[in-house]
Each structure stands twice: as C-alpha cells, then as structure tokens.
A and B are shown apart, each in its own frame.
Chain A
Amino acid sequence: MDTAGFADLVEPITHDGFLAGTAVLTTITLVAGALAVRRILPRNERDETLPWTEDGPR
C-alpha cells in the first residue's frame, strides 16, 4: 500500500477522533464555565454549629 492509500485509510479514523476530541473539549469548556459562574454567585453554606453564623458572615 502506498502512502496516499494509507492516508486515505486512516483519514476517517483520525477525523472521527478529532470530532470526539473536540466534543470532549467543548464539554470541558462548558463545565468550566458553569463552575466559574457558580463560584461568582454568592454562596455561604449555613451551619448552625459554626460560630460565624451567629453574627452573620464576617
């Protein structure tokens, strides 16, 4: 098999891999963005046994 033939053979495989990798990266980017938004939003988990909740967060 010549070089061109081999390239034609593996091209669909590498292209599918590229699409899969892109999908993974897209998912990770979206998850990271969602986590960043979550961290930006105010959040203070309440626990009645923690003293700072008696006087409000400092």
Chain B
Amino acid sequence: MRSGVPWKGCAGPARIDVTATPRVAGTTRTYEFSGNTAVLGAGAAPPEVRGESLAGTRPRAARVTALVPAHNEEIGIAQTIDSLRRQTQPPDRILVAADNCTDGTVAIARAMGVEVIETVGNTAKKAGALNQGLALVLPTLEPHDVVLMMDADSRLSPIFIARGMRYFDKHPQRGGISGSYVAGDHPSRVGLLQRIEYAQGLRTVHRRAGRIHVLSGAATMFTVEALMTVARLRGSSLIPGVPGQVYDEASLTEDYELTVALQRVGFDPRCARDCRVVTDIMPTWSDWRTQRLRWQRGTLETLMTYGFVEHTRKAWAVQAWTYFRTLVPLLMVAIWSYAVAFEELSLHLMWLALIPVFMLDQLLASWRTGRRGRLYAVVLVPMLLYDLVQSVVYWQALSRALHGADPEWIT
C-alpha cells in the first residue's frame, strides 16, 4: 500500500473477535482480541519482559508471517507477492489486508493464492488495516515469531527475510528490522530527485550502524514479542494510543510512531544493510508535496505527543536544525542584498575551494543512483532547489500541525 493513498472508511468500529491460547515455553498465554486490538491476557507477561530468557526453551523455529496492507494496489500487488514468494526463506503465511479496495487488488491477490482479508469499518487508513490484519495473525504466533509488514507497492530482495532473521537470532531485542529502501526507477525529474534523496539518506543510516529515524513502512520485520509489548503498553505513561492496538491509529505516520514506541519500551530497532526493498516513489510534484506534508506533519505531531523525552530528544534536535537550515537561504539573500546596496563587495577565492568538497560529498552519497543521478547530485543546484521546495513544505506542515488542519491524502 502506498503511504498516503486515499482510504475510504465507513462509520462504526471494526469487530474482529478472536481468542487464542498459544503455548509458550510451557506457559499458556491468552491473547484477547476485540476490534483492532490485541491484548495480552492478565498475568501473562512475556518471559523477556519478566527478565527471563527463552533460549533453549523454544518449541520450534520462528515462523514468518507477511502482512501486506493494500488500498487499490492492483498495479503493484502481484509484484509484491511475487517478491515474497521468491525469498530464499519464504514467509510461512502471506496475508493481504485489503482496505476498501475498488479495483482488482483482491481478485489478483486471491488468484495468486494468498490469504486476503477485507477490512471492516476501517476509518484509520493504513494503521487501521494493519491493526485488523495483526488482530488475526498475532493469536497464531509465538513471541519469537516474526511479522513482516510491507507496502503493496514494494519489492523485496530475495534474501530479505533470511538476512532479517539473522538479525533477530543475533539480537532479539532489536524488535524491528527495517529494510534498506531504494527508490524504484521513474523517468520523471521528481522521481530522480527522490531517488538521490533516498540514496543519500540510506548511506547516512548505514554509516551509523543502521540506526534509523523511522522503520520503513516499505518493509520492516518485527518480532511478535515487540508488537505485543507495544500493544500492551499503549495508553500507559510510556506510549500513547489505545491499549491493545499495535499501531496508533491517530498518527499520520504510523511507522514513525511505532519506531518511537518500540524504543520507548526498550527495543533497539535498526535498518539492515542487506535487506533491500525497492519502493515506488511519488511520480508527480503534487503527489510528492502531499506525501511530504503528511510525513513531516506526522513526525511533528508524534514528537508533540511524546514530548521531550529520552527517545525523542535527538529527533527534536534534528527538527530544530531542519527548520533553522530552511532559514539560511533567506539570510543569504538578505545579506547579499544588503552588501550589494550598502557595502563594498569583496570575494575571497578561498571560499571557492569548498565547492569541490561539496561536489565530492554529493557524488559519493549518490553513487548508487546511476549516471544521471550522480550528474544531478554533483552539480549541486538541483538538490539545493529540491531542498528549498521541501523547506516550504516543512513550514506548511508545521503550520498545519499547530493548527490541527485536516490531513491530506494522495488522491
């Protein structure tokens, strides 16, 4: 499901009532499900949360369930399912959560032999569809099992799941492993600029040992333990939301909100260099603006919801720097105008020595984007203009976040 596609919900809450009793390490654990919620039964805290280890007591190897939320994704859903089927370690179960689809998404998915659920009364768009899908799959899983959440316009590299499972084997407290997102090819200029932007952002993430701002909605693997812990602690002083729901349905950026939530409850999610996922980009400037408005506004609203706490301090600093940076071009124009009008101009050539440094930086950061991408990046101006346009969107997002305007979704 492309982030930001329109979701037409019906009035009234969804009702998916399930009760399951999976056995974990000799303990009967009851999950109670109601609507979009999944709540751990009273008195059955996960062993890890109680400080115990599951090592040596696991009844079986971890299972992987792929959950694909989709709204009118008939163009991409077949490729998405195909990429799941081509995994060196294919998922044990593939479930498409079709949300108010009016095209051929459901028919295509069923024809390809995967399970399809159609959401009922969902008004919470992607987060609601994911919650309804999770309410069905989580009761069948054990804490060390894994759920792969991926968009229906994304394709995984064949080793994605196998490599992701290695991460969890090595360090279960990761909680979530995000794919390394790569922008799909698109002939438009805005597509190329996004491709450069994605590549540069990903390089930064990889240089920081996979520490990532947001676990990508394009494809991220979660342990059931992590999802259940978040669901159980929602509504507490640690994380906001409705108790029992994995995703916060009030958030415009449910993937970012879940990333912060995981960190707040003690997990250390990362981005995996070798789990690659190719995702479609916004094909027009109009779609791009709508998407970025939602992303930025969702980020700001999430930070405002959590406040200035341990796991958001760095994000607040990043936002402060982001908005400060948007003012630099204005300052430059003001200073240069004043200098031309009232001061004696003098150019020190030593400053020109910085330009090759910036060009080399851009070239290296965009190396994986192909010859055209490298060319666009190395001449600096296109990405400067891209940042300038994005700055305007950031201020619009801030204004809407502060004024509580109606959110925009891509049509």
Contacts and interface: CB of A to CB of B under 8 A. Distances in A.
Instruction: Please indicate which of the listed interface residues B166, B170, B339, B364 has the most CB atoms of chain A within 10 Å of its own CB.
Output: B170
B328 A25 contact: yes
Contact of A43 (B166, B207, B331, B361): B207
B167 interface: yes
A14 B334 CA distance: 11
Contacts of A4: none
B335 interface: yes
Contacts of B204: 39
Main secondary structure of the interface of B (DSSP, over half): helix
Nearest to B359: A36
B346 to A, nearest CB: 11
B238 interface: no
Nearest to A17: B338
Contact of A25 (B209, B335, B354): B335
Contacts of B342: 11, 14-15, 18
Contacts of B170: 49-51
Main secondary structure of the interface of A (DSSP, over half): helix
B155 to A, nearest CB: 19
Interface size grouping (class) on chain B: 20 to 34
Given A14-B342, A50-B270, A33 B357 contact: yes
Contacts of A33: 354, 357-358
Contacts of B339: 18
B385 interface: no
Contacts of A21: 331, 334-335, 338
B335 A51 contact: no
A36 B273 contact: no
Given A36-B357, A39-B365, A51-B170, A22 B274 contact: no
A30 B378 CA distance: 19
Interface in A27-45: 28-29, 32-33, 36-37, 39-40, 43-45
Interface in B157-178: 163, 166-167, 170-171, 174
Given A18-B343, A40-B364, A50 B210 contact: yes
A45 B351 contact: no
A36 to B, nearest CB: 4
Given A18-B343, A29-B354, A49 B171 contact: yes
Interface string B307-342: 000000000000000000000100110110011001
B8 interface: no
Interface residues of A, number: 27
A33 B208 CA distance: 20
Nearest to B273: A52
A45 B209 contact: yes
Contact of A24 (B206, B273, B331, B365): B331
A3 B174 CA distance: 68
A47 B335 CA distance: 45
Contact of A47 (B210, B332, B357, B358): B210
A51 B164 CA distance: 9
Interface string A4-27: 000000010011001001101100
Contact of A39 (B332, B343, B354, B364): B364
Contacts of A37: 357, 361
B112 interface: no
Contacts of A52: 272-274
B361 A36 contact: yes
Interface string B79-116: 00000000000000000000000000000000000000
Nearest to A45: B209
19 contacts: A11-B342, A14-B342, A18-B338, A18-B339, A18-B342, A21-B338, A22-B335, A39-B204, A40-B357, A40-B361, A40-B364, A45-B207, A49-B167, A49-B171, A50-B209, A50-B270, A51-B163, A51-B167, A52-B274
Given A39-B361, A49-B174, 20 more contacts: A11-B342, A18-B339, A21-B335, A25-B328, A25-B332, A28-B328, A29-B354, A33-B358, A36-B357, A36-B361, A37-B357, A39-B207, A40-B361, A44-B207, A45-B207, A49-B170, A49-B171, A50-B209, A50-B270, A52-B274
